[in-house]
Amino acid sequence: MNIPFTKAHGAGNDFLLTWAEQIPGGSNLQAIAHAICDRHTGIGGDGWMLVRDAGIRLFNADGSEAEISGNGTRCAAALLIDSSRASNDVTINTGAGPKHLRLIERNGRRFLFEMNMGQPVFQEDQVRYLLPLKHGEQEVTILDVGNPQCAVLVDRIPEDWKALGAEIEAHPHFPKRTNVSFVRAVDAHTIEARFYERGAGATLSSGTGSTGAAVAAILRKVVESPVRIITEGEELRLRWDDSVYLTGPAEIVGTGEFYVGAKTAS
């Protein structure tokens, strides 16, 4: 079976997108996602998305299904607009509900969107929560921005942040695992962040991770809205007023076909 795909990235967070009608019914979607996202034997990506005119279905690189990706949803919006299936204002149904995106500017196949991320969900006693880890207790902020987030506010990004991220992602406190961010306040309106995403590992950027990181930093009163988020990829911007709005790029970089073996597809 051949899987057509479009590759796109949002601030360095890369995705493979396939029109849902091009996938035969009964296909093993989890296995296909794991295979196509492999960076050595597949095409390579942080996730694989099935796109319909009205919505998306997202699989992480390990084959697990996710509720939403902020960067990935912008990539889907870029594909829909580039394919003349949507206007410059588009609402996309995700596993975390409908999300509205507004196109700010376009240059060829590079797009800049503002996306309404909705209101974050958190409990006051988890804004400062002591999470027991192997090296001792770590103060974290736990919240939900359409998917689970655990933000670790630090004075500097730890050298072993990937190992710490993997430990926190799989911590027993999070039975369905969690996305992890390490967040350093640069000034009153700027943070630097690193991301260890559930099902994908370390990523150059994360839309929901940036949202969780910025909201956590606001809740902890180390920054104020609006917030500039410096990632290892490109910068994102967030404001929190009547809702949380995240602005960032999405760029379509290529198309092709992935050849799936019979064992993987079934």
Other CB atoms within a 10 A radius of the CB of residue 194 amount to 26
How far is it, in rounded angstroms, from Cα 159 to Cα 164? Answer: 10
How confident is the model over 210-224, as a mean pLDDT? 98
User: What are the tokens at 262?
Assistant: 């019979």
Write the DSSP symbol of residue 124: G
Calpha distance 238→116 (Å, rounded) = 10
The Cα 67–Cα 56 span in angstroms is: 10
Q: At what angle do helices 70-82 and 207-219 cross, to 10 degrees?
A: 140
What three-state secondary structure class fits 200? coil
- Residue pointed to by tokens 């606001």: 218
pLDDT in tens, 222-250: 999 999 999 999 999 999 999 999 999 99
**pLDDT band with cut points at 50, 70 and 90 for residue 216:** very high
Residues spanned by CATH 3.10.310.10 within the chain?
2-117+250-265, 121-242
> Tokens 């969690």 correspond to what residue?
178
Least confident window among 19-28, 164-173, 186-195, 257-266 = 257-266
What is the helix (H) or strand (E) element at residue 55, kind and residue range?
A: none
What number of helices (H) and strands (E) belong to the chain? 5, 18
Is residue 39 scored above 90 in pLDDT? yes
Is a pLDDT exceeding 70 seen at residue 262?
A: no
Nearest to 217 by CA among 247, 245, 182: 182
Q: How many CB atoms lie within 10 A of CB 240?
A: 20
Which CATH number is associated with domain 2-117+250-265? 3.10.310.10
What's the average model confidence in pLDDT over 59-88?
97
Residue 29 scores a pLDDT above 70: yes
Q: What is the pLDDT of residues 80-139, one digit of tens each?
A: 999 999 999 999 999 999 999 999 999 999 999 999 999 999 999 999 999 999 989 999
Q: What is the pLDDT of residue 263?
A: 60
pLDDT at 54 over 90: no
pLDDT for 142 equals: 98
Q: Which helix (H) or strand (E) covers residue 18, if one does?
A: strand 13-19
> What is the average pLDDT across 27-48?
97
* The model's pTM: 0.96
> 121-242 has which CATH code?
3.10.310.10
Q: Given the structure tokens 């607009």, which residue do they identify?
A: 81
Beta strands 121-122; 129-133: pairing state? unpaired
Share of the chain above pLDDT 90, in %: 96
Span between the terminal Cα atoms of the chain, in Å: 10
| pLDDT > 70 fraction of the chain, expressed in percent and rounded | 98
Q: How far is residue 30 CA from its own chain's centroid? A: 18
pLDDT at 264 over 80: no
